[in-house]
Amino acid sequence: MHWRLCITEWVDNKGEGNKAAMRALAEGDRSPGVVGYLDTEPVAWCAFGDRSDFPRMQRSTLLQPVDDEPVISLTCLLIKKSHRSEGLLPAWITAVCDHLAETSRTRTVEAYPVEPSHGRKAGPDTAMTGIDSAFTAAGLTKVARPKRDRPVLRYHLP
């Protein structure tokens, strides 16, 4: 819910309130994201939607639209902590794009990962949007760089 609410609403609803709001979105007409499984264990999450679904992103000076092209924004990617060092993120991004190719009319996926400095790790507060190298490994290409460590990447769905 981080990108779907203003910061005050997000903080006020932290925990159960945000979980209930996400549950309500999931029960609606448009999926707010997908869960990824390894065998029968849920190990991954990706939140996505039209840019208009994310008011906080629209107000961000860092994440202004690159152009007028309609995009599906990937706003939050998560691999379960116990599986993070297994290299699953590129395959997860590819699986999300494959899902969107089958379910979305919009044909461009856009992501806003962090690109950690050489030898440094991204913290949990910045890594929620994903790591740049995983997106490039999945075939996304850089189209903008609004900040040194924040590229904007795109993938055109078949």
Sign (positive or negative) of CA dihedral 72, 152, 84, 127: negative
CB 45 within 8 A of CB 76: yes
Rounded to two decimals, what is the model's pTM? 0.90
What's the alpha-carbon Rg for the chain, to the nearest Å? 15
CATH code 3.40.630.30 for 33-156: yes
Domain ranges for the chain: 33-156
**pLDDT above 90 (res 7):** no
Sequence-ordered list of residues with C-beta below 8 angstroms from that of 132, at least 6 positions apart, any chain: 113, 114, 115, 151, 153
Identify the CA nearest to 61 among candidates 112, 122, 134.
112
CB 92 within 8 A of CB 77: yes
The pLDDT tens digits of the residues spanning 105-155 come to: 999 999 999 987 766 666 555 678 889 999 999 999 999 999 999 999 999
pLDDT at 58: 87
Percentage, residues of the chain above pLDDT 90: 74
Q: How confident is the model at residue 61 (pLDDT cuts 50, 70, 90)?
A: confident
